[in-house]
Structure 1
Amino acid sequence: MTEDRTVVHVDEFLPYPPARVWRALVDPDMLSAWFMPTDFAPRVGHRFTFRTQPIPATRFSGTVQCEVLDVRPEVLLCYTWADAGNPDGLASTVTWTLHPEGRGTRLFLEHRGFDPDDPIQQLSRTIMSGGWRSHVVRRLAEFLVEQDQDQDQESPASLR
């Protein structure tokens, strides 16, 4: 089977109910804590940015401009993803889909829109593919664990 060079797919099981995972994806303070600083709001049409370190090799400015395209609470979140510093570069979409699975959530991430004939976009896809899998989803899982630990510490001993 030929690899689709226009998309990155990630499939991850998280041992938390969809409501917990959803909140980490849409609460701007939480999202800023585990992903990137942002002014996100879960409202179709809302324009927001993510800010991180530039990557000169891919001509990435470090600022991602986004617009919310679809919100279905605890099920699906979709937004555009474009480099603010390179308006002629990658224009793509990121879609998070949540499915209840046992006592947790199967989280699917799809980042779509890479030009298979553009070497810079393919380098970006390679970097993002590894980043989504090894950094972003891992950081989300760690953040959810930290939230559990914080709640445990705030609970009175008699309730533990």
Structure 2
Amino acid sequence: MIISYRQDDGSVERVSTEDLSAIEAAAIEEAMGDVPWRAVEDRLRGQDPTAMRAVLWAHRRRTEPGLAFSAFDVPGWRRRLTARIERAEIEDVLDNLMADALANSEDSAIDAMLPHLRKLAHDQADVDAALDALGKGHLVAARAG
């Protein structure tokens, strides 16, 4: 997941959960009340402000080691924070859908998931690229057509 934070000057700070160390991920789990990482990821997909703040906090602690989670706030979080999925996560979803589609000889499950993936994607072109990599590029053309 990529967490984006729009600062007062309009610049955007982007941090990725892929860059977290195991210790940082554990610190996030603990800061959120011993929430398992899987639940943290689910909450990020749901745009949960505490989860997004926790990831941003973990990255900030790299340069501000004494920064306490309880003191780290993001004013105006609704307009400043977003969480979006990355290419690897898109590919994971499509791989799972592909296995199901092959079992049923249909593309409808993949096609139904595309609007959701496009909304969550940090870069929407990653969705098309992942479809092409799966050999399902015809679904991109069907969408555009």
Say whether the fold is shared (TM-score over 0.5): no
Task: Identify the structure with the greater helix proportion.
Answer: 2
Q: What TM-score results when the alignment is normalised by the length of structure 1? A: 0.25
Higher strand content, 1 or 2: 1
Question: Rg: which structure is higher?
Answer: 2
